[in-house]
Amino acid sequence: MTRARLSDALALLAGVVLVLAVGVGYLQRSVGDADRFADRATAALRDDRVRTVVAERVTDGLVRQEPDLLAARPLIDATVRGLAGSQAFTDLVRSAARDLHRAVVDGDEDTVTLTLTDVGTVVAGGLQAVRPGLAAKLEANRRVAVVDQGLAGASADVGRVLSRVHAVLIGLVVGWLALLVVALALAPDRRRATVRVGIGTAGAAIVAVVALTPLRAWAVDASSDADARAAIGAVWDAFIGDLRTAWWLCAGVGAVLAAAAGSLLRPMPLGAPLRLLAERLAREPASTAGRALRGVAFLLAGAVVLVARDAVVSLLLTVAGTYLVYEGVRILLELVAPAEAAREPRPAGRRLPRPRRGVLVAGASGLVLVLLVGGGAASTEQTGGAPRATDRCNGHRELCGRRLDEVALGATHNAMSVPLPGWYSAEQERPIAGQLADGVRGLLIDTHYADRLPSGRHRTVIVPSAAQAREDGLSPETLAAALRIRDRLGFTGQGQRGIYLCHTFCELGATPLGEVLADLRRFLAAHPGEVVVVINQDEGVPPRAIVGAVRDAGLERFVQPVPRAGGRWPTLGEMVATGRRLVVLAEHQGATAGQPGAAWYPAAYADGVLQETPYAFGRPSLLTASEHRAASCAENRGTPDAPLMLLNHWVSTDPLPRPSQASTVNARGPLLARARECERLRKRRVNLVAVNFYRRGDLLGVVDALNGLAR
Question: What is the chain's length?
Answer: 711
- pLDDT range class, residue 337, cuts 50, 70, 90: very low
Over 50: is that where the pLDDT of 346 sits?
A: no
DSSP characters over 119-154: HHHHHHHHHTTT-HHHHHHHHT--EEEEEEEE-TTH
pLDDT score recorded for residue 224: 65
**What is residue 325's predicted lDDT score, i.e. its pLDDT?**
59
Of 274-278, 348-352, 542-546, 595-599, least confident by mean pLDDT is 348-352
- Report the sign of the C-alpha dihedral through residues 397, 401, 403, 406, in that order: negative
What's the CA gap between 576 and 398, in Å, rounded? 14
For residue 260, the model assigns a pLDDT of: 66
Give CA–CA dist 654/616, Å, rounded: 11
Strand partners, 358: none
- So where are the chain's domains? 2-31+161-283+290-345+353-379, 35-152, 397-706
pLDDT of residue 536: 95
Give me the pLDDT at residue 159, please. Answer: 57
> Coil, strand, or helix at residue 501?
strand
Residue of 242, 206, 212 whose CA lies nearest to 316: 206
* Residue 359 vs residue 23, higher pLDDT: 23
Range from 74-88, 181-195, 359-373 that averages highest in pLDDT: 181-195
pLDDT at 668: 95
Best-predicted range by mean pLDDT among 218-222, 245-249, 574-578?
574-578
- Selection from 44-58, 85-99, 320-334, 530-544 with the highest mean pLDDT: 530-544
First vs last Cα of the chain: how many Å apart? 72
C-alpha–C-alpha distance, residues 2 and 703, integer Å: 75
Return the CATH superfamily for domain 397-706: Phosphatidylinositol (PI) phosphodiesterase (3.20.20.190)
The most confident of the ranges 305-314, 453-462, 594-603 is: 453-462
Give the Cα separation of 32 and 44 in Å (integer).
18
pLDDT bucket at 168, cuts 50 / 70 / 90 = confident
CA distance 250 to 244: 10
Q: 3-class DSSP state for residue 384? A: coil
- What band does 291 get if pLDDT is binned at 50, 70 and 90? confident
pLDDT of residue 38: 76
Report pLDDT for 61: 74
Helix residue ranges, H only, 390-538: 432-438, 466-471, 476-488, 513-526
Nearest-angstrom CA–CA distance, 84 and 42: 11
Q: Are 371 and 329 in contact (CB under 8 A)?
A: no
Whether residue 421 is preceded by a cis peptide bond, meaning omega within 30 degrees of 0, is: no
**pLDDT exceeds 50 at position 32:** yes
Backbone phi, psi, residue 584, to 5°: -120, 120
Per residue in 191-214, pLDDT (tens digit) is: 777 777 778 888 888 888 778 777
Mean pLDDT across 666-677: 96
CA–CA separation, 74 vs 96, rounded Å?
Answer: 25
Higher pLDDT, 110 or 305: 305
Q: Is the pLDDT of residue 454 over 60?
A: yes
Residue 411 CA: distances (Å) to CA of 95, 204, 497, 700: 28, 60, 29, 9
The whole-number pLDDT of residue 135 equals 64
Query: Using H for helix, E for strand and C for coil, what is the string for 221-258?
Result: CCCCCHHHHHHHHHHHHHHHHHHHHHHHHHHHHHHHHH
**Gap between the Cα atoms of 160 and 163, Å rounded:** 5
Calculate what percentage of the chain has a pLDDT beyond 90.
28
Number of CB atoms found within 10 A of residue 161's CB: 15
**Would you say residue 126 has pLDDT above 70?**
no
Q: Cα(430)–Cα(449) distance, rounded to whole angstroms?
A: 23
pLDDT in tens, 527-548: 889 999 999 998 789 999 999 9
Distances (CA, A) of 142 to 58, 125, 139, 515, 522: 11, 12, 6, 17, 11
Distance CA 77, CA 58 (A): 8
CB atoms within 10 A of CB 618: 11
Residue 247 in contact with residue 322, Cβ under 8 Å?
no
Whole-number pLDDT of residue 487: 60
CA dihedral over 107, 110, 114, 117, signed as positive or negative: negative
Mean pLDDT for the stretch of residues 443-449: 94
**Residue 131, CB half-sphere, CA atoms under 13 Å: how many?**
17
Whether the pLDDT of residue 27 is over 70: the answer is: yes
**Confidence check: pLDDT of 112 > 60:** no
How confident is the model at residue 596, as a pLDDT? 56
Interacting residues of 140 by C-beta distance below 8 A, sequence separation 6+: 65, 66, 120
